[in-house]
Chains A and B, each alone.
Chain A
């Protein structure tokens, strides 16, 4: 096991992609499960805070320590077992998502969750219930987790498979490896019918494995994950279409979304029907960020949509269906790019990824933090919500860029303040956007999670009483209050239970 005690040796463990900075006494890098147990037991007895570190790709400060020690799981990076026949893979938590996807693809299998940043650890994607472009069709990480091995702070182990342990109403009951019974009550707050990564997943009679998925490391340490895999689709239609107006692009997405949802719900429909697996939007400002690197972006386009669909290479009717829909919304056929092979599909992925990092680079040069939304609302409220947000930001004269998973009604609207005054203004607008999302039955965090940066918004979404119930639940699993303290809710809630 590597132990880093000198601050200059572990600076990179004190922040994540959000640029939020924390502090810690030391960093431990265990190489196997017994070493993790040993560390947990020791720190549990000492009541020393332990923050579990993933690969630092998160956007909410979830892996950023606020005191105590960091345990980085980076050495637990083995793919343990893949079953081609039963279509599952068992991995250690620090396997990189991109590596896992390439690995299963070589076996003609698909692991669908695809957060834009694919350098993340699998364990961390489970901890935040990560999702991405393809979640429009395939759903988030939760849908693919079928088994977890979890270490509790006192060194006990919970092994849980999907479909085996269910809550009785809101009452939960689990047994740890040494045979200790854990009894708990689930909170019963409203969970939005959108993509959601805001707080514990809680529902009457739920499968208890879902409690741990998206719990941001606050209940236990994930040391092994069993994931369900799908057959790799024969081919993938991947395309970026450029539109003359934002309105055209948004109308196109609206119609593609409803056709796709209908097609997915109605399996009897012919497989040649239009059925998107991803629908991603870019506004004009996002395109302007990309133009230096993608010089072929048509000069007059004001918005773009990247869409994907699984299909059979020889099925031209799907392409014709897409062309007809694009024409309906005034999209010039010549300004629709199509990826011919995997390399080009990767380039389209890079097109999407580049927006995020170019915006981050731009704001870092200004020495400010961007304020980005992760809100999602139900489809019927989406257009109204999106134009409301834009009007609000434009009224305040703030620079912004809009892009994101519009198929899932999940915009990443990034405000780009130029100075402290604008930064404060942006923070205020951010709070109003979150409040409006909640009012429209949506979520304040669809995929990034809460971590340490979005606790205030979660508090507003669920109210103090429910947060207190979450804290009470955490204390059952972590009575000494050591594990990932500060994620999801403020530490104070652990005192006030």
Chain B
């Protein structure tokens, strides 16, 4: 079985983000990029599935040369092959999905893992769109995955509870935190990854339906005020809540 995992190269969640001078991009100066955290769960699940049932794994990423770092990490964790769909221009979610779907088709993968969302644009939609374009079954926000023959059973998070869903291959799964504990790359994996080639391809062209008009930073909240640390502060606190905050 061929298993594909789609990975995104995103700013570190701890990075301080500033808007670039064109107001349409972020200023990448001093920003560290990492593997999208949810994609690490996807990589781990792909590896575990391969270890259990055999087959071949391929990681696919769309973006510029910098994305190679993320693909390299996937290889170091144990993924067999890596493909970079090279495109550094802006693509909306559907356009990204079209490029990925085309490559998944070329690869002939019948099981695909995604992170449930990438933590840069946070649209949480590329996995589902890709599944639709491929005509694959899709289960999203998955916290437990099992495969038995052709049958897939997943647990997914829903508002206030969990849902158990069954489906069949071919399928696309989007991973939520809790699905597994992603492994660290091994020393051996690093050495192997260094020797592997990352295949570069031109992604299929696709129309954007979304245009970024401008990016703005959210207004920062005012600093909180500590009125006191013991019961003597209560009258002042009540006065401020009543007169300044006007909430009581």
Q: By the criterion CB–CB under 8 Å, are A316 and B191 in contact?
A: yes
Q: By the criterion CB–CB under 8 Å, are A338 and B34 in contact?
A: no
Please judge, given known A-B contacts A295-B181, A296-B181, A341-B32, whether A316 and B188 are in contact too, CB under 8 Å: no
Bound together, the chains give a CA A372 to CA B114 distance in angstroms of 46
Q: By the criterion CB–CB under 8 Å, are B190 and A8 in contact?
A: no
Shortest C-beta distance, A86 to chain B (Å), equals 24
Q: By the criterion CB–CB under 8 Å, are A337 and B186 in contact?
A: yes
Shortest C-beta distance, A126 to chain B (Å), equals 29
Residue A335 interfacial (CB < 8 Å)? yes
Q: Of B32, B188, B194, which contacts A323 at CB under 8 A?
A: B188
Bound together, the chains give a CA A241 to CA B190 distance in angstroms of 14
Bound together, the chains give a CA A323 to CA B188 distance in angstroms of 8
Please judge, given known A-B contacts A296-B181, A323-B191, whether A336 and B186 are in contact too, CB under 8 Å: yes
Q: Of A335, A338, A341, A342, which contacts B190 at CB under 8 A?
A: A338
Please judge, given known A-B contacts A8-B230, A340-B73, A342-B32, whether A296 and B191 are in contact too, CB under 8 Å: no
Q: By the criterion CB–CB under 8 Å, are B187 and A239 in contact?
A: yes
Residue B229 interfacial (CB < 8 Å)? yes
Q: Of A294, A333, A341, which contacts B186 at CB under 8 A?
A: A333
Residue B132 interfacial (CB < 8 Å)? no
Q: By the criterion CB–CB under 8 Å, are A337 and B184 in contact?
A: yes
Bits for A316-348, please: 1 = Cβ < 8 Å to B, else 0.
100110110010000001111111111110000
Please judge, given known A-B contacts A9-B229, A316-B191, A319-B190, whether A338 and B185 are in contact too, CB under 8 Å: yes
Q: By the criterion CB–CB under 8 Å, are A319 and B187 in contact?
A: yes
How many residue pairs link A and B with beta carbons under 8 A? The number is 56
Q: By the criterion CB–CB under 8 Å, are A344 and B230 in contact?
A: no
Q: Taking each of B73, B76, B185, which has the highest tally of chain A beta carbons within 10 Å of its own beta carbon?
A: B185
Interface size class of A (residues with CB under 8 A): 20 to 34
Bound together, the chains give a CA A340 to CA B185 distance in angstroms of 7
Q: By the criterion CB–CB under 8 Å, are A341 and B34 in contact?
A: yes
Shortest C-beta distance, A237 to chain B (Å), equals 9
Please judge, given known A-B contacts A296-B181, A319-B191, whether A335 and B34 are in contact too, CB under 8 Å: no
A residues near B191, Cβ cutoff 8 Å: 316, 319-320, 323
Bits for B2-24, please: 1 = Cβ < 8 Å to A, else 0.
00000000001010000000000
Please judge, given known A-B contacts A338-B76, A343-B34, whether A333 and B187 are in contact too, CB under 8 Å: yes
Closest to B44 in A: A296
Q: By the criterion CB–CB under 8 Å, are B187 and A296 in contact?
A: no
Q: Of B12, B183, B189, B194, which contacts A296 at CB under 8 A?
A: B183
Interface size class of B (residues with CB under 8 A): 10 to 19
Please judge, given known A-B contacts A316-B191, A341-B34, A343-B12, whether A9 and B230 are in contact too, CB under 8 Å: yes
Closest to B37 in A: A343
Bound together, the chains give a CA A319 to CA B183 distance in angstroms of 19
B residues near A294, Cβ cutoff 8 Å: 181
Q: By the criterion CB–CB under 8 Å, are B184 and A338 in contact?
A: yes
B residues near A295, Cβ cutoff 8 Å: 181
Q: By the criterion CB–CB under 8 Å, are A333 and B184 in contact?
A: no
Please judge, given known A-B contacts A340-B76, A342-B32, whether A334 and B184 are in contact too, CB under 8 Å: no
B residues near A8, Cβ cutoff 8 Å: 230
Q: Taking each of B34, B186, B189, B230, which has the highest tally of chain A beta carbons within 10 Å of its own beta carbon?
A: B186
Q: Taking each of B12, B14, B184, which has the highest tally of chain A beta carbons within 10 Å of its own beta carbon?
A: B184
Q: By the criterion CB–CB under 8 Å, are A323 and B34 in contact?
A: no
Q: By the criterion CB–CB under 8 Å, are A296 and B184 in contact?
A: yes
A residues near B186, Cβ cutoff 8 Å: 333-338
Q: By the criterion CB–CB under 8 Å, are B187 and A322 in contact?
A: yes
Shortest C-beta distance, A431 to chain B (Å), equals 41
Bound together, the chains give a CA A28 to CA B183 distance in angstroms of 48
CB-CB contacts below 8 Å: A219-249 with B: 239-241
Bound together, the chains give a CA A326 to CA B186 distance in angstroms of 13
B residues near A339, Cβ cutoff 8 Å: 184
A residues near B183, Cβ cutoff 8 Å: 296, 337
CB-CB contacts below 8 Å: B1-57 with A: 12, 14, 32, 34
A residues near B185, Cβ cutoff 8 Å: 337-338, 340
CB-CB contacts below 8 Å: A1-26 with B: 6, 8-9
Shortest C-beta distance, B211 to chain A (Å), equals 33
Bound together, the chains give a CA A9 to CA B233 distance in angstroms of 13
Q: What are 15 A-to-B residue pairs whose CB atoms are below 8 Å?
A: A6-B230, A239-B187, A296-B181, A316-B194, A319-B187, A323-B187, A333-B188, A336-B187, A338-B184, A338-B185, A338-B186, A338-B187, A338-B189, A339-B184, A344-B184
Residues of B within 8 A of A (CB): 12, 14, 32, 34, 73, 76, 181, 183-191, 194, 229-230
Interface pairs A-B: 9 shortest CB-CB: A337-B184, A333-B188, A336-B187, A295-B181, A338-B185, A338-B187, A340-B73, A296-B183, A334-B186
